[in-house]
């Protein structure tokens, strides 16, 4: 019997890898533009790190972590998210000495024992960013603007929802009001909500049951309970987004599955992925560094889920790929194959995607191969063409064909062909 992969753990096959690379490359460029540097952190950490940051009473820590004792009986966990590890590394390597703060991002696999479904896996990948060192509300707006820039660069249609969860001062007041409200509805809501109203009351607002949601229609709003400085902070975050022309809506019901957030939280929401509608999410976590034993420095960040992005960008990227000059070189005979071989290399150097057959197939089978490759152009080098030092360039979409001169100077010759293809590709 064959051994199959684990449920919720997915192979990324060669026909998908280009999407992953495109998304990562696009993100890296944008992150660098906003002053972020990459950090690579381990997959395995002491369990305590996540319990202390994400929170003991969260679903992640209570029931979703891959936790086990190592051979020395130390409890270790495969990271369920990136923020805790990045902050641990920040503290461990004394990065706080940089006065201006640190902007870090990490890309890699995360692990949560969730019920797998479309866009939800047990091993998934995040691009996670952290801006550490400033509590200024404009940094919240800047970080959201970076997420927004990435969505735009990937041509994704998402909306930005924001909220404030208050701080150590005002959140307890809100929790108290919420618990009083929930106490009166114990017999009307699900068992999970009743349990959560004791352990982590804010999370009830996130219950997926429609019946519970109906009960919470007039639940107290956190925004009515913010202290003066949280209220000012939230106003300035909104002002920052408005200055940058970024559209958002306020969702006072947004609560996050991680306990470390203070003040601003946000989510990038899509309508195209069913229940898993968050493409990315994040917020501010002032106090978390201190909680992990570091200096008390504020921070704000977010993570986007690669698998969800891949599901969404698919169509757009394939269309963009098609717009790239894409050539299949058909050669007949050894002399043509040799000329074609250097032509292929030269065209690749210009930026075109080029393939050819090396196995002396017939014209007909090479045409079939070109079709299979989805090539927009074929360049045919047969005996006649070779004798006249030219090639036949055929547009596979329009059927048009033309003869192009080949000179002995391969560089000039490739530039000429590439320009012809490129201009026509852009215009079609």
Question: Does 50 participate in binding ligand HAM (rule CB under 6 A)?
Answer: no
**Closest C-alpha among 147, 110, 113 to residue 126:** 110
Of 126 and 163, the one with the shorter C-beta distance to ligand HAM is 126
Question: Does 83 participate in binding ligand HAM (rule CB under 6 A)?
Answer: yes
Q: Select the span of 76-84, 246-254, 310-318, 405-413 touching ligand HAM (CB under 6 A).
A: 76-84
Q: Select the span of 66-74, 126-134, 315-323, 386-394 touching ligand HAM (CB under 6 A).
A: 126-134
- Min separation Cβ 213 and ligand HAM, Å: 20
Burial 100-134 (b: 16+ CB within 10 A, else e): ebbbbbbbbebbbebebeebbbbbbbbbbbbbbbb
Q: Select the span of 115-123, 195-203, 215-223, 319-327 touching ligand HAM (CB under 6 A).
A: 115-123
Question: Does 302 participate in binding ligand HAM (rule CB under 6 A)?
Answer: yes
The span from the CA of 50 to the CA of 60, in Å, is 9
Of 88 and 339, the one with the shorter C-beta distance to ligand HAM is 88
> Which of 279, 370, 378, 414 lies at the binding interface for ligand HAM (CB under 6 A)?
279
Radius of gyration of the chain (CA): 28
Question: Does 126 participate in binding ligand HAM (rule CB under 6 A)?
Answer: yes
Size of the site for ligand HAM (CB under 6 A): 27
Q: Between 191-199 and 171-183, two packed helices, what is the crossing angle to 10 degrees?
A: 150
Residue least distant from ligand HAM (Cβ): 305
- Min separation Cβ 156 and ligand HAM, Å: 12
Question: Does 120 participate in binding ligand HAM (rule CB under 6 A)?
Answer: yes
- Min separation Cβ 322 and ligand HAM, Å: 27
Of 258 and 393, the one with the shorter C-beta distance to ligand HAM is 258
The span from the CA of 294 to the CA of 166, in Å, is 22
Q: Select the span of 223-231, 296-304, 346-354, 412-420 touching ligand HAM (CB under 6 A).
A: 296-304
The span from the CA of 375 to the CA of 344, in Å, is 14
Question: Does 171 participate in binding ligand HAM (rule CB under 6 A)?
Answer: no
The span from the CA of 264 to the CA of 282, in Å, is 8
Q: Count Cβ atoms below 10 Å from residue 60 Cβ, excluding itself.
A: 19
Question: Does 308 participate in binding ligand HAM (rule CB under 6 A)?
Answer: yes
- Min separation Cβ 82 and ligand HAM, Å: 6
> Which of 58, 102, 128, 264 lies at the binding interface for ligand HAM (CB under 6 A)?
128
> Token pair for residue 373?
């490759």
The span from the CA of 35 to the CA of 28, in Å, is 11
- Min separation Cβ 374 and ligand HAM, Å: 30
Question: Does 202 participate in binding ligand HAM (rule CB under 6 A)?
Answer: no
Question: Does 82 participate in binding ligand HAM (rule CB under 6 A)?
Answer: yes
Question: Does 162 participate in binding ligand HAM (rule CB under 6 A)?
Answer: no
- Residue 231 has, within 13 A of its CA and on its CB side, a CA count of 8
Where do runs of H (alpha helix) occur along 294-354?
Answer: 306-323, 334-350
Measured over the CA atoms of residue 144, residue 145, residue 149 and residue 152, the dihedral's sign is: positive
The span from the CA of 375 to the CA of 354, in Å, is 9
Query: For the purposes of burial, counting CB atoms within 10 Å of the CB of 359, is it exposed (0-12), middle (13-18) or buried (19 or more)?
Result: exposed
Question: Does 23 participate in binding ligand HAM (rule CB under 6 A)?
Answer: no
> Token pair for residue 121?
């896996």
Q: Count Cβ atoms below 10 Å from residue 148 Cβ, excluding itself.
A: 21
- Min separation Cβ 64 and ligand HAM, Å: 8
Of 182 and 269, the one with the shorter C-beta distance to ligand HAM is 269
Interacting residues with ligand HAM (CB under 6 A) = 81-83, 112, 114, 119-121, 124, 126, 128, 130, 257-258, 278-283, 301-305, 307-308
């Amino acid at each position: 019997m064959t051994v199959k992969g684990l449920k919720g753990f997915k192979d990324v096959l060669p026909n998908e890898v280009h999407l992953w690379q495109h998304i990562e490359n696009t993100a890296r460029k944008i992150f660098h533009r906003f002053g972020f540097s990459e950090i690579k952190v381990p997959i395995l950490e002491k369990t305590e790190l996540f319990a202390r940051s994400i929170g003991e009473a969260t679903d992640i820590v209570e029931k979703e972590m891959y936790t086990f004792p190592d051979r020395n009986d130390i409890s270790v966990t495969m990271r369920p998210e990136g923020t805790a590890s990045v902050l641990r590394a920040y503290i461990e390597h004394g990065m706080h000495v940089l006065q201006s703060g640190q902007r870090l991002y990490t890309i890699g696999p995360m692990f949560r024992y969730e019920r797998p479904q479309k866009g939800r896996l047990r091993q998934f990948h995040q691009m996670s960013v952290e801006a550490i060192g400033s509590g200024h509300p404009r940094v919240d707006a800047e970080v959201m603007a970076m997420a927004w820039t990435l969505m735009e660069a990937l041509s994704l249609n998402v909306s930005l929802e924001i909220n404030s969860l208050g701080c150590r001062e005002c959140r307890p007041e809100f929790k108290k009001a919420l618990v009083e409200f929930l106490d009166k509805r114990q017999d009307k809501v699900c068992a999970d909500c009743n349990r959560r109203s004791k352990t982590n009351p804010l999370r009830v607002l996130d219950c997926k049951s429609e019946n519970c949601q109906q009960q919470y229609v007039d639940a107290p709003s956190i925004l009515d309970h913010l202290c003066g400085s949280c209220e000012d902070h939230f106003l300035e975050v909104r002002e920052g987004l408005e200055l940058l022309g970024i559209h958002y809506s306020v969702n006072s019901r947004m609560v996050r599955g991680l306990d470390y957030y203070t003040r601003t939280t946000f989510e990038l929401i899509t309508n195209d992925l069913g229940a898993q509608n968050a493409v990315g999410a994040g917020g501010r976590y002032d106090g978390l560094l201190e909680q992990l034993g570091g200096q008390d420095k504020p921070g704000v960040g977010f993570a986007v889920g690669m698998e969800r992005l891949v599901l969404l960008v698919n169509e757009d990227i394939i269309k963009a790929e098609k717009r790239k000059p894409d050539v299949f070189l058909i050669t007949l005979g050894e002399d043509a194959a040799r000329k074609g071989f250097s032509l292929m290399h030269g065209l690749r150097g210009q930026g075109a995607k080029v393939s050819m057959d090396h196995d002396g197939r017939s014209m007909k089978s090479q045409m079939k191969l070109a079709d299979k490759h989805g090539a927009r152009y074929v360049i045919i080098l047969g005996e006649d063409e070779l004798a006249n030092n030219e090639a036949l360039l055929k547009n596979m979409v329009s059927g048009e064909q033309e003869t192009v001169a080949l000179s002995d100077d391969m560089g000039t010759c490739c530039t000429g062909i590439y320009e012809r293809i490129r201009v026509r590709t852009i215009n079609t």
